[in-house]
Structure formats: structure tokens, C-alpha cells
């Protein structure tokens, strides 16, 4: 096996609010979304439409979000599981100090920005679905 890429797929209750959070707070961009009718893909969320899936990206990071009903149908192992997991999604970024201040300015309550024992400047926060996101930068 040759591993090529890892893209997490998050189970969420609402695609639109999740996309809006990742775009406005974290600077991600929508790549595509699948409407509830599942009859195609769209590059923009249309007003008055519900969606079951969205793919977002920022620089070299991609994240997928899938509405609970669709997720449990596709990922049958999750059928009896609650959304979420004891895992954090750790992203290495540039400009951690400025980004941390932006997060605070948006009224989000992250953990303290600190230097970990392994030399990374980092902090954690939760998204609107309760998933834990970690952001880190190598200490110079």
C-alpha cells in the first residue's frame, strides 16, 4: 500500500452552518457541495437549499463534512455511534501568534497559546460541531 493523502470526513448536523464557520472563522474555501437531492455537485451554497456533503480546503489541507443521516448511511460502522471522537485534528500553520489573536477577536475561546515540550507553539479550539482543532507552528 502506498498512502497518498488523508482527508478527514466529519459527521455534522448542518452543512451550511459548518461551511460558514470554516469559511468565516478559519479562512477555508468551499470546493464543492452535494445538495440533499444528490443529483449533482455545486461550487456555491444556494439559498433555501439543504446539503448532505461539502468539501473545503485551505492551502494544503482538505476537510470533508457530511450530514449525519448521509454519513451513517455511507459509513455503516458509525450507525450506532454518537458524532465526535476522542481525537484532535492537528494542523501546522504559519503565523500562529496573529492567528491566535484573530480567533480571540472572533469571540472564540481557545486554549492558551503555549510552547509544548516537543517544541511546537500551539493552541486548541472546538468548531461549531464540537470537534477539536489544533493549530501549531514550529518554534524558532
Domain final residue, candidates 61, 81, 101 = 81
What are the pLDDT digits (tens) for 4-28?
Answer: 888 999 999 999 999 999 999 999 9
Q: pLDDT category, 40, cuts 50, 70, 90?
A: very high
Evaluate the CA torsion angle 131, 15, 39, 70 in order and state its sign. Answer: positive
Domain tally, the chain: 2
What are the pLDDT digits (tens) for 82-135?
Answer: 777 667 899 999 999 999 999 999 999 999 999 998 889 999 999 999 889 999
The pTM score is: 0.87
For residue 17, give the CATH number of its domain.
Answer: 3.30.1900.10
Considering the domain architecture, whether residues 28 and 88 belong to the same structural domain is answered as no
If you average pLDDT over residues 22-50, what whole number do you get? 96
pLDDT score of 85: 64
Q: Which residue range(s) make up the domain with 125? A: 84-140
Considering the domain architecture, whether residues 64 and 88 belong to the same structural domain is answered as no
Residue 33 and residue 117: Cα distance in Å, rounded?
Answer: 40
Q: pLDDT category, 30, cuts 50, 70, 90?
A: very high
Amino acid at each position: 500500500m502506498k498512502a497518498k493523502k488523508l482527508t478527514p470526513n466529519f459527521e455534522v448536523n448542518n452543512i451550511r452552518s459548518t461551511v460558514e464557520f470554516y469559511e468565516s472563522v478559519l479562512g477555508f474555501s468551499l470546493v464543492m457541495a452535494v445538495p440533499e437531492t444528490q443529483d449533482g455537485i455545486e461550487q456555491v451554497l444556494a439559498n433555501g437549499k439543504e446539503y448532505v456533503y461539502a468539501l473545503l480546503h485551505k492551502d494544503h489541507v482538505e476537510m470533508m463534512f457530511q450530514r449525519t443521516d448521509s454519513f451513517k448511511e455511507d459509513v455503516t460502522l458509525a450507525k450506532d455511534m454518537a458524532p465526535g471522537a476522542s481525537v484532535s485534528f492537528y494542523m501546522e500553520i504559519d503565523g500562529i501568534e496573529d492567528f491566535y489573536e484573530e480567533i480571540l477577536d472572533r469571540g472564540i475561546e481557545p486554549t492558551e497559546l503555549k510552547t509544548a515540550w516537543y517544541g511546537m507553539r500551539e493552541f486548541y479550539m472546538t468548531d461549531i460541531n464540537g470537534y477539536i482543532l489544533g493549530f501549531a507552528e514550529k518554534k524558532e
